[in-house]
Amino acid sequence: MGVTAVTDSAKFSAAALDELIAARQEPEWLVDLRRAAFETFCEKALPSRKEEEWMRTDIRTFHLDNFEPPAELSEIPADLPEGLLTAGVDLGGRVVSYNSRTISSELSDELKQQGVVFGSFAEVLESHGEVIREHLCHAVDPHFDKFSALHAAFFTTGQVLYVPRGVVVKKPLHALSLMGAGGVDLGHTLVILEEGAEATMLNETASVDETSPGMHCGAIELFVHPRARLRYVNLQNWGRGVWHFAHQKGVVDRDAHIQWTIGALGSKLSKVNQHVGLVGEGAECEVNGVMFTEGRQHLSYHTLQHHQAPHCHSNFLYKAALQDRSRTVWRGMIKVDEGAQRTDGYQRNDNLLLTKHCRADSIPGLEIEADDVRCTHGATTGQVDEEQIFYAQCRGFTRNEAIRAIVIGFFQQVFDRIPVESVREALGKSIAVRVREYE
Amino acid sequence: MSEFVRVAAADAIADPGKQVFEVEDQIVVVFHVDGQYSCLDDVCTHDDGPLGDGRLEGCTIACPRHGAKFDIRTGAALSMPATRPTVCHEVKVEDDAVWVRLRS
């Protein structure tokens, strides 16, 4: 049966959805999920600046119909980027996608024997459909806004990691999403760690062309079941023409732990909702954010630390350095439910302004309904201290070397919290090469 | 350096009046007051308010969010809560049309 809802998009239409569904042999529950999401996509308008969440993020120049649902790949370019996060890393598996289509998927025999599942969405759906059904769109709400609905209706690719109960995966797993000129990425990342499992996943994005337009409209769902431990790294490094819209959520259960590192370097405009739900007693999360912006980039991150159970600990540290006319918006919320006593929540956002016309907005917030909690939040924004530059120049540094050292020093606090050396190296190098000389 | 881009016929914007346009991936607002055209970023430097939705009085535009005022000819901030100018772009009238060139 076809879709009856009417959309304002000529490209992401009912006919396009019918075509996508017809081309894939997906179970009925997933088809129903897509159709319900499409209804929402049709009902909702693109967000406007009258909404609190979008007040500081202007998407009036974003035109959805400049893009279209991902087509089957006719050819794969020869020289695709390798990504930045895996230099010198012995990987346990790797999944690569290009323009929303999986082009390679590998997992070591050793991990396969342990029952670990890691691969493209389509292949894992075929082999472990019930696990996906129990988790897909249970963290991220497909009906939240037009973008989440668009994603849920039309997503074609993604990576799924499933680690069975008690299995410790020592080698990191790598997911690389690539985009070509004018491309669209609707990737969905799903990570499920059963009770007592442990794993590290490195997830990154890159564009084949640094300036071409593109659109990412994606979702990340991380399920960390009781006593499991997940280290998850997400590097957003799209080219400067890419619109990046994402809903990301981690669900952390009793005595489980997630360490989530975010590097945001690319895209033209990013609007990311990053939530962590601490749903079981004693759950812990540590989120590290590194942002570097230049040109007219605009990165907007809305974070939520949602304490839903007692004795949970959350710690968010976001640092951003900005140059040129770029812009960051960070809006953080610690939400503590009534029953979540003995909560320990911390959030901090530091911004370093490297030029006269860049701008950083920080809006930390607290929403507390329990009466026995410790919640701390704060934000700082400042410029590079000329005296520090002068001091360094007196000792033989050029002005540029001095600024670069100060910027790297600014991020060091966050780098120190990242346990994977290749990630620290990649972020440090990527930022260092972007820092220019200022007067 | 950007090129001049035609945004509207010269008589399409009332005097006094204003209209919002998309030029090279940016949203700008073109003003027409006392026969003179000018163009600003459609952004209040206080809180990103859309100046194009504001009240135009003489050569002053007031942001609809918090009332900050800007000089439409220069982009200068004239009143709190804005303290920094918004970007003022080049405008010319040629062939009975209004043309805008963006300043970076």
The angle that helices A399-415 and A386-394 make with each other, rounded to 10 degrees, is 120
Question: From CA A19, how far away is CA A13, in angstroms rounded?
Answer: 10
Cβ of B48 within 8 Å of Cβ of A55? The answer is: yes
Distance between CA B70 and CA B84 in Å, rounded? 9
Spell out which residues of chain B touch residue A55, defining contact as CB-CB under 8 Å. Answer: 47-48
Continuous segment of H or E residues that includes residue A41: helix A28-43
Confidence of residue A2 (pLDDT cuts 50, 70, 90): very low
pTM: 0.94
Distance from CA of B24 to the nearest CA of A (A): 9
CB contact under 8 A, B48 and A58: yes
pLDDT greater than 60 at residue A404: yes
Q: Distance from A266 to chain B by nearest Cα, in Å?
A: 17
pLDDT one-digit tens code per residue, A124-172? 999 999 999 999 999 999 999 999 999 999 999 899 999 999 999 999 9
Query: Do residues A156 and A20 touch, judged by C-beta distance below 8 A?
Result: yes
Confidence at residue A439, expressed as pLDDT on a 0 to 100 scale:
56
Our CA dihedral for A392, A397, A398, A404, rounded to 10 degrees, sits at -70
- Nearest residue in B to A48, CA atom: B50
CB-CB contact of A369 with A399 (8 Å): no
Structure tokens at A144: 């939240």
Q: According to the model, what pLDDT value does residue A75 have?
A: 81
The beta-carbon neighbor of A49 closest among B22, B50, B104 is B50
Structural contact between residues A234 and A164, judged by C-beta atoms closer than 8 angstroms:
no
What is the predicted pLDDT for the residue at A3? 47
Domains in chain B, ordered, with CATH? 5-101 (2.102.10.10)
The mean pLDDT of A10-29, rounded to a whole number, is 94
Q: Quote the pLDDT of residue A170.
A: 95
Using an 8 Å CB-CB cutoff, list chain A residues near B26: 61
CB atoms B104 and A325 under 8 Å? yes
What pLDDT does A73 receive?
A: 77
Is residue A350 packed enough to be buried (19+ CB in 10 Å), middle (13-18) or exposed (0-12)?
buried
Q: Judging by beta carbons within 10 Å of its beta carbon (0-12, 13-18, 19+), is residue A357 exposed, middle or buried? A: middle
* Nearest Cβ partner for B26 among A49, A55, A61: A61
| Residue B63 pLDDT exceeds 70 | yes
The answer to whether residue B50 neighbours chain A at the CB level (below 8 Å) is: yes
CA distance A190 to A365: 28
Summarize the confidence of residues A380-407 as an average pLDDT: 93
Q: What is the pLDDT of residues B21-59, one digit of tens each?
A: 999 989 999 999 999 999 999 999 998 899 999 999 999
Given CB atoms, is B43 within the 8 Å cutoff of chain A?
yes
* pLDDT average, residue stretch A324-344: 96
Over residues A177-191, mean pLDDT: 95
**In the predicted model, is pLDDT for residue A433 greater than 90?**
no
Report the chain A residue with the minimal C-alpha distance to residue B45. A359
Residue of B2, B23, B25 to mutate when probing chain A, most A C-beta within 10 A: B25
Q: Which chain B residue is nearest to residue A213, measuring alpha carbons?
A: B25
Q: Is pLDDT above 70 for A366?
A: yes
What is the per-residue pLDDT for A63?
A: 93
Q: Answer whether residue A1 shows pLDDT above 70.
A: no
Q: Does A60 contact B27 at a Cβ distance shorter than 8 Å?
A: yes
Query: Residue A139 corresponds to which tokens in the numbers above?
Result: 């963290």
Say what the pLDDT of residue A4 is. 52
- Chain B residue with CA closest to A54: the answer is B48
Cβ–Cβ below 8 Å for A55 and B22:
no
- Nearest C-alpha neighbor of A193 from the set A157, A222, A171, A234: A222
Query: Please, what is the average pLDDT of chain A?
Result: 94
Whether B28 has its CB under 8 Å from any CB of chain A: the answer is: no
The encoded tokens of residue A50 equal 């009258």
Contact A240, A268 (CB under 8 A): yes
Question: Helices A14-23 and A28-43: crossing angle, nearest 10°?
Answer: 160
Check residue A79 and give its pLDDT.
Answer: 86
Instruction: Report residue A6's pLDDT band, with 50, 70 and 90 as the boundaries.
Output: low
Residue of A56, A61, A325 lying closest to B48 (CB–CB)? A56
At residue A50 the predicted structure's pLDDT band, cuts being 50, 70 and 90, is confident
* Amino acid in the structure at residue A99: N
Instruction: Decide if B47 and A325 are in contact by the 8 Å CB cutoff.
Output: no
Residue A5 is predicted with a pLDDT of 61
Q: What is the mean pLDDT of residues A407-412?
A: 93
Asked whether residue B66 carries a pLDDT value surpassing 50, the answer given is: yes
